Structure 1
């Protein structure tokens, strides 16, 4: 592997080769060499343009002409989360253009160059009664919307926003971590997002009983701990493809006894904010205080995290123990 990588860069200057060697020697590090003005966010080199606002077309042109770059492409849930984490950590409070449009082919969202653009959870803003995009032919360009907790929304392409440029031709095309292989799962479980998951659709029980139902499986499980955004994505895709959008599921999270401090049953913290928690009429979940102390994903809530009264009868969503 190392010999192959070095051969790809036989004509690269010594400084670049030194950087390449450093990355190769550090296991688990994704390779990206960012040009001046760009910074590595996740596995990509991005530049957040925050000095002026442009239309969608102008932003595309600016990225290309000024940086030889394109508008940022969201191509995985993990990359989307890295961008949102960066925006929030740096206190940015405006919206950003990204590379997504359905102009000319209504409802078929792609990049400007025709690559697939991700749909559904955990990318687009999800409310109890609808999920973006919902602007029809009047709103044909995608932006990360400050007004919707930085989820993606469709908007008029002639609006003016800050924007994110993505550096082209990163060296990470030659070396990336291989995705974790899916486990071989036992009876009652399926492999999703690196875990063995079971949907107990034959039961609808309160949260306190749900964990017991998971433990009663032939190979005992526990309520699922969904702390990886790619796992939430995989669960959402599975439920939508299986026509199970009318189902609601308990997860192993709660804040009962310590209001506002959401933890999993193993004692670790539940991830908060975007892109895990959905939106409601009063802002972003959780929004019901001490009335609703248990964690669920709800079909009509587009399988984002929601706080729910633990006495409600929902299906257990289990993971294999161990």
Structure 2
């Protein structure tokens, strides 16, 4: 029984017994014409006060006894396991449950232009024990964007970034490399202007089958030709 319930119970017992004793006192001290009324009142109060003292003493003794202590709930000494810190591989940084790494300097052998094709970027991530990034929801997408901005802080890098989405297997069906469907529409995919009209991405048709974070559109997702050059965003859990 919780402590506050025990206290409440005994207070009710105390009040009940006090009331019963008060009634008994009324029966014992009936008005007597031969006894001074003031003396009757004093005798009645003395008797009631004695009853109160007796009851309070009993309650105190009960609270100090093993009987009442054994009725109270004792809470086990539970030791919570602290959350384990995410162990990221070399070059990776922990970002809300996953490990991310972006490389703005890597380039394909023999080329001056920084960046890799989508296939080369995928191989690069695999070599690090990871894969091109995939976003389970909008929160993961925003976390990745914040990570990119922190990495790019003060460096004025304007590169696009490859992520692990493609519709090469089936045109129009965009899948992450793990086989899950990519989210579509806002807030993931950006817009592209064609013939003075803005179109929701992806809009490149059969020519553009790989997903990237496009710098010129604030790193919203765009479809692009898979041989374009961009920085790889790698992820592992």
| Bigger fraction of residues in strand | 1
User: TM-score per shorter chain, which class?
Assistant: 0.5 to 0.7
Q: How many residues align?
A: 141
Q: Which runs of 5+ in 1 are unaligned?
A: 1-179
| Residue 184 of structure 1, aligned match among 83, 87, 98 | 87
Q: What's the counterpart of residue 251 of structure 1?
A: 163
Distance 1:288 1:256 in 2: 12
| Bigger fraction of residues in helix | 2
| Residue 207 of structure 1, aligned match among 107, 118, 125 | 118
Distance 1:209 1:257 in 2: 18
1:182–1:194: 8 Å Cα contact kept in structure 2?
A: no
Q: What's the counterpart of residue 89 of structure 1?
A: none
Runs of 4+ more than 3 Å apart: none
What does residue range 63-142 of structure 1 map to in structure 2 within 5 Å? none
Q: What's the counterpart of residue 55 of structure 2?
A: none
Distance 2:101 2:233 in 1: 6
TM-score (normalizing by structure 1): 0.41
SS in 1 for 2:203: coil
Deviations 1:206-245 (A, max 9, x none): 111111101222xx11111122211211222232343355
| Residue 133 of structure 2, aligned match among 205, 224, 237 | 224
Q: Which runs of 5+ in 2 are unaligned?
A: 1-82, 107-114
Q: What's the counterpart of residue 199 of structure 2?
A: 283
SS in 2 for 1:313: coil
- Please tell me whether Structure 1 or Structure 2 has the larger radius of gyration of its CA atoms: 2
SS in 2 for 1:297: strand
Distance 1:188 1:251 in 2: 17
TM-score (normalizing by structure 2): 0.55
Distance 1:181 1:270 in 2: 29
1:200 CA drift (Å): 1.9
| Residue 148 of structure 2, aligned match among 228, 239, 259 | 239
* Root-mean-square deviation (Å): 2.2
